[in-house]
């Protein structure tokens, strides 16, 4: 009974691992949850939290215990009123506990101030990682569905060619047709079989790339469930909208890095500002002529005080560091302007590229439909004896070429649409609307 219950419990999990039926949105969701790059980004967020705790700890009380046990091989000697006097004992020990508390340290305060932008930067890096995953998974997914459609069309062509081959072969055997006609059709059939084998190999490769982009084992069995949706709606083109670089993740990351650079420059500059701290110390001193006496002759002491430190001269080290930090800020700001200009150009090019891809797609789709009509007409004429086999094979070749052009236009259109969403910074929105 126990084994039966365990079998019932395990069955659903076995079914899930046997095959995963996934839509594009489910593929992306899987990647956003399981890809190693996401886990690395999450680790960096956790690391930034600990860096914040580290910065705060520098401004919290610090307690240290120090101990020392000495054997003075030769005790120092001093002379008082013409007499030599030993200074100290052969054996001595000290044990102390000291508490230090910064009261004012501008550099440490600025380090604490950097906690928030540092956390925000790590979160923005994770968002950028998510966007890259959405792009990679989507482009890989579209590649798979186009090859899948190609295999479907090739199988349709194969079925038609097989019927034609059986007819021409029977005609040749019965003497009502030429053997050369059957040979021509057989050559076409062999070519189609080679194309199917090549397409199936490409499909396996593309599917493995998709699984890798998702962070899934290539041995997993994945079946795409919503390919028809994308094949049927290829002409849908959402408006590109107005490009706003400020709203993109790339801009936000650069802005946050500039903010951190500015805090770093202020922190270096603050190294010239005096620091104030307080301390408290409690200790025990022991000494004696033998090793054991230091533990029996113990004298306690305690001290509290305030420490004031004024940096005066460091060989202009801080000055050099500060100027380097200012140069880094200036460089980052210039890179921000440069990237904004480049991003505007990329957006405009992506907009034009998608529109051109859409125009080409519509044209190739129409051309495929017309070539199919032409094939159907020639096929009717061939059956009626008014068209030759060569005419039929040529019509079928034109139809196949039109189909291949349409499939290539389809993948070009989807990639162009993804490039536009990527340039616009709207990949998250693309994913959410799936």
17, pLDDT greater than 90: no
- Here the tokens at position 70 are 């000495």
Give the Cα separation of 394 and 411 in Å (integer). Answer: 26
Neighbours of 173 (CB within 10 A): 11
Give the Cα separation of 306 and 124 in Å (integer). Answer: 43
CATH number of 16-59+105-274+310-432: 1.20.1600.10
234 pLDDT band (50/70/90 cuts)?
Answer: low
291 pLDDT band (50/70/90 cuts)?
Answer: confident
pLDDT of residue 239: 63
User: What's the half-sphere exposure (Cβ side, CA atoms, 13 Å) at 174?
Assistant: 8
pLDDT tens-digit map of 127-186? 999 999 999 999 999 999 999 999 999 999 999 999 999 988 888 888 888 889 889 999
> H or E element: which one contains 101?
strand 91-104
Residue 288 has φ and ψ, to the nearest 5°, of: 175, 170
Neighbours of 288 (CB within 10 A): 16
Neighbours of 86 (CB within 10 A): 12
Average pLDDT over residues 24-35: 95
pLDDT above 90 covers a percentage of the chain that reads 71
* Helix and strand element counts for the chain (H, E): 12, 8
pLDDT of residue 258: 96
In the chain, where are the structural domains located?
A: 16-59+105-274+310-432, 66-104+278-309
Give the Cα separation of 424 and 219 in Å (integer). Answer: 35
Give the Cα separation of 330 and 313 in Å (integer). Answer: 27
pLDDT tens-digit map of 237-252? 666 667 889 999 999 9
User: What's the half-sphere exposure (Cβ side, CA atoms, 13 Å) at 149?
Assistant: 24
Give the Cα separation of 147 and 411 in Å (integer). Answer: 9
pLDDT of residue 148: 92
Give the Cα separation of 19 and 238 in Å (integer). Answer: 34
- The three-class DSSP label of residue 199 is helix
pLDDT of residue 4: 39
Counting other chains too, the contacts that 357-362 makes at CB distance below 8 Å and 24 or more residues apart are 357/409, 357/412, 357/413, 357/415, 357/416, 357/417, 358/235, 358/237, 358/413, 358/416, 360/409, 360/412, 360/413, 361/234, 361/235, 361/406, 361/409, 361/410, 361/412, 361/413, 362/235
Closest residue by Cα to residue 361 from 144, 205, 146: 146
**Can you list the positions of beta strands (E) in 204-250?**
222-224
324, pLDDT greater than 90: yes
pLDDT of residue 290: 84
pLDDT of residue 18: 52
Residues contacting 237, CB < 8 A, separation 6+: 354, 355, 358, 417
pLDDT tens-digit map of 386-401? 889 999 999 999 999 9
Give the Cα separation of 206 and 158 in Å (integer). Answer: 23
Q: Using CA atoms in the order 365, 366, 367, 370, what is the torsion angle rounded to 10 degrees?
A: 130
Average pLDDT over residues 411-420: 92
Residue with tokens 């072969």: 169
Mean pLDDT rounded to a whole number for the chain: 89
81 pLDDT band (50/70/90 cuts)?
Answer: confident
223, pLDDT greater than 50: yes
Give the Cα separation of 50 and 115 in Å (integer). Answer: 10
pLDDT of residue 6: 41
Neighbours of 139 (CB within 10 A): 18
Strand-pair partners of 94: 68, 285
């Amino acid at each position: 009974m126990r084994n039966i219950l365990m079998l019932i419990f395990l069955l659903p999990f076995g079914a899930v691992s046997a095959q995963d039926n996934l839509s594009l949105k489910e593929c992306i969701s899987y990647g956003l949850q399981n890809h190693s790059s996401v886990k690395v980004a999450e680790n960096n967020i956790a690391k930034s939290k600990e860096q914040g705790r580290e910065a705060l700890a520098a401004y919290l009380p610090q307690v240290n215990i120090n101990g020392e046990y000495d054997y003075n091989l030769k005790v120092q000697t001093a002379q008082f009123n013409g007499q030599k006097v030993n200074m100290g004992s052969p054996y001595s020990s000290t044990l102390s506990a000291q508490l230090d508390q910064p009261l004012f340290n501008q550099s440490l305060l600025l380090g604490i101030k950097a906690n928030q932008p540092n956390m925000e930067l790590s979160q923005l890096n994770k968002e950028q990682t998510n966007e890259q995953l959405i792009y990679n998974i989507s482009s890989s997914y579209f590649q798979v569905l186009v090859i899948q459609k190609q295999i479907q069309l090739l199988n349709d062509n194969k079925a038609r060619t097989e019927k034609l081959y059986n007819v021409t072969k029977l005609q040749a055997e019965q003497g009502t047709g030429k053997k050369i006609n059957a040979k021509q059709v057989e050559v076409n059939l062999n070519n189609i079989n080679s194309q199917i084998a090549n397409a199936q190999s490409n499909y396996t490769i593309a599917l493995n790339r998709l699984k890798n982009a998702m962070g899934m084992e290539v041995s997993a069995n994945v079946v795409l469930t919503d390919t028809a949706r994308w094949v049927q709606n290829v002409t849908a083109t959402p408006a590109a909208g107005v490009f706003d670089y400020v709203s993109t993740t790339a801009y936000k990351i650069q802005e946050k890095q500039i903010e951190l650079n500015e805090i770093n420059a202020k922190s270096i500059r603050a190294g010239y500002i005096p620091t104030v701290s307080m301390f408290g110390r409690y200790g025990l001193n022991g000494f004696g002529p033998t090793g054991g006496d230091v533990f029996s002759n113990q004298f306690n002491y305690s001290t509290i005080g305030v420490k004031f430190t004024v940096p005066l001269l460091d060989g202009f080290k801080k000055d050099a560091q500060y100027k380097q930090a200012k140069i880094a800020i200036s460089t980052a700001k210039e890179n921000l302007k440069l990237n904004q200009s480049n991003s505007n150009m990329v957006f405009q090019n992506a907009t034009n590229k998608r529109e051109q891809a859409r125009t080409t797609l519509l044209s190739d789709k129409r051309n495929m439909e017309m070539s199919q009509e032409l094939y159907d007409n020639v096929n009717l004429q061939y059956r009626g004896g008014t068209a030759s086999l060569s005419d039929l094979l040529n019509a079928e070749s034109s139809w196949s070429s039109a189909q291949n052009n349409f499939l290539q236009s389809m993948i070009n259109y989807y990639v162009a649409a993804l490039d536009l969403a990527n340039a616009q910074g709207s990949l998250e929105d693309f994913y959410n609307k799936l």
